[in-house]
Structure 1
């Protein structure tokens, strides 16, 4: 029997974008979260070390800000090292963009910012994917991004929205990128709306109060989907950890 619980390393860029539902599910599956809080000045490690997997969260910065933000270069190096190790990776929003960039894909501004609750459509490949199989072909997800990515060579597209062609992808068996925010609950969505209130209003003409009304309509269904998807990702950790 292990003396300590296995850990997952979480790179967090801003206080309002934590692992949310993902963290809850991982803890329920016996994993402890260890954080690198970049917004507090924590340094990004060179390798994953003893950790069972890597989670890279969202943030307002862009992958192409590497010349100004040294931590982005360090994150890309860690992602590449983790890919080489074969251990599971999950990138969310900025994290998915960093994963795509680490795999050689272009990351660039989209036609316009995609913020709020918008419909997602799963691909045919998602119906056979270990994380997504058996889930509805369409559901409403929470979005907060301006940048998008091309599909990395060799990756499988899993979801799209009306505005964005690639909303989720898998590379190999253990690396996943979700551009949308599957991890948010009503509280987390509210924190993001309050933190980025000016961006929300400028991009969508929506106030935090108006966004909260949409959140009340969609958050519970998204959480049901998130519980299932994140439990399957925890299963990837367990398979590697066995």
Structure 2
């Protein structure tokens, strides 16, 4: 390793749509892999002015917006432009929930309202490809779901996981693009914030705040461990790719 490489700063740009839907437990894993985290709030940031290829990694978080609501939320168009530029360059990007939907849209797939919201602590099942991917760490581990939109599987990606309600829970392209529909970032603080903000809607989706809280107490530690393993394995793959290059 050259002296320049030894002191090179590795950066991750985090695109956040709502402070209540933050990086959560993904942050410590990024930091432990040497990433300097730069978070921008896309509703109040000129995303079009950002250099899409400057960060080593882009993480796109969740939000209440629909990836197709670009007229209502014009900043989503700028995010899609940034993601398309990274896709064209095969530059690493990781998407969570809305982030996964934006990646699907940037790859040319349709994103739309699902038949029913998927809310609760639910299992995702790795596909054959998923069992040899970072998604293997969530086999048999319930994780937080809270979404109403879904998407068609883009061309030239691998489906990595499905749930009982939605087939497309995770996908990847190569080792550089990874997208998950569920919420691996959830901490107890994030979870409590969501219950305070949106708990009133839970009975119509077959659960309650009390049930969600009890499930989080019972299942959250295992989900956080699986999250660290998933993201860590993905980051290890990026690091191996950079070393080979």
TM-score (norm 1): 0.92
Match of 1:92 among 74, 96, 114: 96
CA shift for structure 1 position 138? 2.5
Name the counterpart of 2:189. 187
- What is the alpha-carbon root mean square deviation over aligned residues? 1.7
Name the counterpart of 2:111. 107
Name the counterpart of 1:50. 54
Match of 2:202 among 200, 203, 222: 200
Contact 1:36 1:43 in 2 (8 A): no
Name the counterpart of 1:15. 19
Match of 1:35 among 36, 39, 43: 39
Contact 1:87 1:237 in 2 (8 A): no
CA shift for structure 1 position 3? 4.7
Contact 1:89 1:175 in 2 (8 A): yes
Contact 1:47 1:82 in 2 (8 A): no
Contact 1:122 1:138 in 2 (8 A): no
CA shift for structure 1 position 136? 5.8
Query: How far, CA to CA, are the matches of 1:58 and 1:165 in structure 2?
Result: 19
- Residues 1-242 of structure 1 mapped to structure 2, 5 A cutoff: 1=3, 2-3=6-7, 5-39=9-43, 41-45=44-48, 46-129=50-133, 131-133=134-136, 135=137, 137-207=139-209, 209-242=210-243
Query: How far, CA to CA, are the matches of 1:144 and 1:104 in structure 2?
Result: 24
Query: How far, CA to CA, are the matches of 1:136 and 1:152 in structure 2?
Result: 22
Contact 1:154 1:171 in 2 (8 A): yes
Query: How far, CA to CA, are the matches of 1:38 and 1:172 in structure 2?
Result: 27
The count of corresponding residues between Structure 1 and Structure 2 is 238
CA shift for structure 1 position 241? 4.2
Query: How far, CA to CA, are the matches of 2:230 and 2:58 in structure 1?
Result: 16
CA shift for structure 1 position 23? 1.2
> Secondary structure, in 3 states, of the residue corresponding to 1:63?
coil
Contact 1:8 1:33 in 2 (8 A): yes
Unaligned runs of 5+ residues in structure 2 are: none
Q: Alpha-carbon deviations, 1:182-238, whole Å to 9, x = none?
A: 11122211111212223334433512x331111011111111111111111222342
Query: How far, CA to CA, are the matches of 1:136 and 1:15 in structure 2?
Result: 26
Q: Alpha-carbon deviations, 1:75-113, whole Å to 9, x = none?
A: 110001111122211100000000001111111111100
Contact 2:24 2:185 in 1 (8 A): yes
Contact 2:175 2:234 in 1 (8 A): no
Closer, same or farther: CA 120–132 of 1 in aligned 2, 3 Å:
closer
TM-score (norm 2): 0.91
Query: How far, CA to CA, are the matches of 2:215 and 2:41 in structure 1?
Result: 30
